Amino acid sequence: MATVVEFSDVVYSIDGRRLVGPLSFTAEEGKTLVLVGASGSGKTTTLRLVNRLVEPTSGIVLVDGKDAKDWDAIALRRRIGYVIQEVGLFPHLSVARNIGVVPRLMGDNNAAVGARVHELLELVGLPPADFSNRRPHELSGGQRQRVGVARALAADPPILLCDEPFGAVDPFTRSELQKEFKRLAEGLQKTILFVTHDVNEAVRLGDRIAVFEQGEIRFLGSMDEFATSTNPVVVALRESNR
Q: Among 156, 188, 206, where does a domain finish?
A: 156
Span 32-53, pLDDT tens digits: 999 998 888 899 999 999 999 9
d(CA 1, CA 96): 35
Confidence grade of residue 214 (pLDDT, cut at 50, 70, 90): very high
Q: What are phi and psi of 79, to 5 degrees?
A: -90, -5
Ramachandran angles phi, psi of 235, nearest 5° = -60, -45
Same domain, 185 and 75: yes
Confidence of residue 86 (pLDDT cuts 50, 70, 90): low
Identify whether 75 is part of a domain.
yes
DSSP annotation of 207 reads S
Among 105, 125, 156, give the residue marking a domain's end.
156
Of 145, 147, 142, 116, which Cα lies nearest the Cα of 131? 147
Question: At residue 83, does pLDDT exceed 90?
Answer: no
For residue 220, the model assigns a pLDDT of: 96
Domain presence at residue 110: yes
pTM passes above 0.85: yes
Is 198 part of a structural domain of the chain?
yes
The percent of the chain in helix, strand and coil, each rounded to the nearest 5, is 40, 25, 30
Q: Is 40 inside any structural domain?
A: yes
Residues 171 and 229 in one domain: yes
Please give the pLDDT value at position 87.
65
pLDDT for 238 equals 84
Rounded Cα gap, residues 33 and 44, in angstroms: 13
Q: Which domain holds residue 41?
A: 1-79+159-242
Q: What is the CATH number of the domain that holds 225?
A: 3.40.50.300
Q: Give the orientation angle of helix 171-188 with respect to helix 141-153, to 10 degrees.
A: 20
Q: Is residue 190 part of a domain?
A: yes
- Domain count for the chain, please give it: 2
168 found inside a domain: yes
Report if residue 84 sits inside a domain: no
Same domain, 52 and 141: no
* 3-class secondary-structure state, position 115: helix
Q: What is the mean pLDDT of the chain?
A: 88
Considering the domain architecture, whether residues 60 and 95 belong to the same structural domain is answered as no
Task: Identify whether residues 195 and 143 lie together within a single domain.
Answer: no
Domain boundary among 156, 179, 196: 156
Does 100 share its domain with 112?
yes
Q: Is residue 201 part of a domain?
A: yes
Give the amino acid at 172.
Answer: F
Same domain flag for 34 and 63: yes
Residues 172 and 242 in one domain: yes
Shared domain check, 98 and 47? no
pLDDT at 63 over 90: yes
Q: What share of the chain in percent tops pLDDT 90?
A: 46
Domain check: are 115 and 103 in the same one? yes
Whether 65 and 166 share a structural domain: yes
Q: Are residues 94 and 206 in the same domain?
A: no
